[in-house]
Amino acid sequence: MSLAASLHGNAGQLADPLVALLLAADRLAQNALMGGHGRRRSGVGEDFWQYRPYQPQQDTLRAIDHRRSGKSDGYFVRQQEWRTAQSLQIWVDSARSMQFSSQTTPSKFQQAGVLALALAIAAEKAGEKVGLATTGLPPARGRKQIFRLADAFLKPGLEEYTTALEPVFLPNARALFISDFLGDLDPLKLALSKAVDAGINGVILQVLDPAEVEFPYRGRAVFQSPLKRLQHDSLQAADLRAQYLQRLAARRDGLANLAKDAGWQLINYVSNANPISALLQLHKALGQEGRRG
């Protein structure tokens, strides 16, 4: 039975937000696997985690998997290293800053949850164990685990910004951290230091609202922190744009450097962008991390 069929059969026993998240994530995972057009995407599918395109600069001709390559127009190489990297651990920031949404755009927290769960669904279908990077839900397989993850990704936090990130890594796991990373970066620095000590590779996904990327404000505007602890009243908001964008670029550069120093990768995602593209970016990046590990 598919996840969607299971959801419809148990809809009366599940909360509406949980059903909505599970269906959205399952649909996203299926669209990524099928290329969004009802056709199986080359190099993705049942072997979502196990193959990558042949790269002449780093692969020998002997490395080509001709059985897999015969199913499509390109050449593919089996990623043997993924046989030992069987766990994917995910952290989704639940702080209040992630609840921000401009206009009708889904909140950063909503989009982060859908992406995280879609990735978990695809990984679980490929035989991976999936779970949280923090305590409470260690990696496991099965539909019940996907339901548990969905429930975890729906619970908002109480803090304005994350003040603690304490991962518990399993050996040979890969990790994904998702947040806007607009608050203090010390929790991330400590978590990455722990990842380095444990030999864990992974990806940082920064999710921002389009308004946070473009700063479209003009005229008078009141800017408030998530819990309204800080407030700034500007008569000419447009005058703040250049300085804001400069600070945002500096923050992104800082994140990129933190990721690089830890042997991780940084992916930037805007919450109104195509989630299929983001999911495939995550797949590619985590695949590369698996090869490094």
pLDDT digits (tens, 9 = 90+) for 250-283: 999 999 999 999 999 999 999 999 898 899 889 8
State the pLDDT at residue 52: 64
Stretch 28-34: mean pLDDT: 74
pLDDT at 93: 97
Rounded Cα distance between 4 and 27, Å, is 8
Token pair, residue 279, equals 């999911």
User: What is the three-state SS of 117-154?
Assistant: HHHHHHHHHCCCEEEECCCCCCCECCHHHHHHHHHHHC
Contact call for residues 209 and 269 (beta carbons, < 8 A): no
Using CA atoms of 265, 266, 272, 273 in order, give the dihedral in degrees to the nearest 10: -50
Q: How far is CA 44 from the centre of its chain?
A: 18
The pLDDT of 216-222, averaged and rounded, is: 90
Query: If pLDDT is split at 50, 70 and 90, which confidence band does 96 have?
Result: very high
- 181-198: b or e for each residue (b if 16 or more CB lie within 10 Å)? bbbebebbeebbebbeee
Would the pLDDT of 289 be above 80? no
pTM: 0.79
Q: Quick one: which of 146, 197, 141 has its CA closest to 168? A: 197
The model's pLDDT over 48-82, given as tens digits with 9 standing for 90+, comes to 446 667 677 667 777 777 776 676 667 777 665 44
Q: Which of 13-17, 120-124, 205-209 has the lowest mean pLDDT?
A: 13-17
Closest to 169 in 3D by CA, of 189, 203, 190, 194? 194
Cβ neighbours around 254 below 10 Å, total: 14
Average pLDDT over residues 7-25: 64
143-163 per-position pLDDT tens digit? 999 999 999 999 999 999 999
In the structure encoding, which two tokens stand for residue 87, read together? 């766990």
User: Which strands, in side-by-side order, build the sheet including 173-179?
Assistant: 129-132, 87-92, 173-179, 201-208, 265-270
List the domains of the chain with CATH numbers.
Answer: 3-34+81-292 (3.40.50), 42-78 (no CATH)
